[in-house]
Chain A
Amino acid sequence: MAQHDIDRVIIGCNKGDEGCFTQLVDIYGRRCFGYFYRLTGNRDLSDELLSELFVKLVEKISTYRGGSFDGWIFTMASNIFHDHLRFKQRQTRLLDEHSKRIMSQSAGTISGKDDDADKLQMALRELDSDVQELVMMRFYSQMSFKEIAESRREPIGTILSKVHRGLKKLRELMG
C-alpha cells in the first residue's frame, strides 16, 4: 500500500473512524502476527499479543507524529513483546522456577508449549534473544538499519553487526 494511502488511513484513525482501524488490521495484522510468532513460537500467544497491539494502537494513535509508521507500529509491537517477557519472568519467579534457565532460553520457550516448530523456528532459538528480535524486527517491519538504530537508541554499527552475525549464523544452521 502506498504511503499516502496509509497516511489517509491514519488520519481517519485519529478521527476515530472504525473503518480505518480495521483497515490498519488488514494492512499490518499478518506481518505483526509473523513477528510475534517468530519471537514466541506460539500461535495462541501470538494471537493474544496481536490483539493487545491493536487495542493499544487505539489508545496511542494520537501520539504518532509522522515518520515511518512501520517503524512506529513495530516499536510498539516490540514493547508489547518485552512487557510480555517481563510478565512471564515475574510469573515464573513467583512459581519459584529457575530464573537462570529462563534467561538462557529463547523467548519462544518462555511462552510455553510451542507449536510444531519449522526448521527456521528451531534455528532462531539458537540465536541470542536480542539478535533474534533484531533480525525479526528488520525482516517484518522492513525498517532501514538507521530507523532500527534510532528506535532502539543504539549505534547503527551495533545494529548492523548484530543482524549480520544473526543472519550468518542462521544460514549456517539452515544450511
Chain B
Amino acid sequence: MIGFLSAVEGFFTGLSRVHRLLPWILAYLLLLPLPYLLKHGINEYYVDLANRACLFILLSVGLNIVKGFCGQVTVGHIGLYAIGAVSSALLALNYNLPFWVSAPIAVIITGLAGILVGLPSVRLEGAYLALATLGLGESVRIMIAVTPALGSSTGLMMIPEPSIGEFIFDNFESYYYLVMTCALIGIYLSFAILKSSTGRAFQAIREDAIAASVAGINVPFYKLLAFVISALYAGLAGALFAHMPPGYLHHNNFTIIEMVTLLLMVVLGGIGNVWGGVIGAIVVTIIYDQTKDYYFYQPLIFGIIMVVMVVFMPHGIGGVVKQAMIKRKFIEKHEEASGPA
C-alpha cells in the first residue's frame, strides 16, 4: 500500500517538474468521469455522497489552514459555514442574484466575518481561544435561529439552484462538477499556501509565536490572515451547500455536533497535513453513511475515535501514512548508500 502511494507520489512529483499544474489537471481529468462510473456501476446515491464529501473536503482543508498550519485552536468554524450559506441564500432569495454573483459576495462576507472570529486569536491562546471561538460560532447559530429574516425556525427554503442560461445545476451529477472543481482548487491553493512564504509564516507561528515575532513576522497580521483564508473556504462551502438541491437551510444544520464531526475529520486525517483534511472528510462521510443503521451508537463511535486518535495517533491517518512514506524513502536511500556493502 505504501509502495503504491510512494509510486503515485513519485509520478506526480515527476509531472509537476514538467509544469506545476500538470498533476492537478491530470487529477481533475481522472475525477471527471466519476459520477458516471458511480451512477452506472453502483447507483446515483453515491454521487450525492461524493458531493457532500467534497463540501466537507473544502471545510476540512480550510479548517486545517488555521488549525493545522497556524496552530490556532478554533472551534467556531461551523459558524463561518453558516454565515456563508445564509448570506448566499438571502442574496439569492431577496435580491434575485444568480448564484455566480451571490456566492462570491457570500464568500467575501464570510471572509470579513473571519476577521471577527480571528480577532480573539490576536490576544488569546489555547483553551481561551477555543472558548471564544466556540462562543462566537454558537452565537451565529442562535442569531439565525431567532431572527425571522434569517430563516428562524422554519428555515430558508426554495433557494434557487445555480444556472447558466438554460442549464440548471439541479441534479447530483451536474452539482458534482461544481463542487468537485471547487474542492480541487481548494486543495491546490492549500498546497500553494503551504509552500509559500505565508505558509512558512503560519507554521512558524504554530511552532513558537514569540520566536516568530522576534524573527520579524507580523504575528497578529498572519493569524488574522489564516482565519480569513479559512473563512473564505468555509464561505464557499456554505454557498455551495445552500444552493444544493433541495435548497433548504435550517439552523439545525450548524450545531455543535456538526462542529465536532468537522473536528473529527481534521483530527482523523491529520492536523497540519493537507491530505489529512481530504482523507478525514472522505473517511468520516463514508463511515457516517455506512453506520446509519447504528445511529444509536454513532456519536459514541465518533467520540471514542476522537479520543483514541488524539491519545494514540495525534497526527492522524495522514501523519501515519506520511511517516511510513518517509521511513520507506529513508530506508531506500540507505539501501542505495550502503548498497552492495
Q: Do A and B come from one complex?
A: no
Residues of B within 8 A of A (CB): none
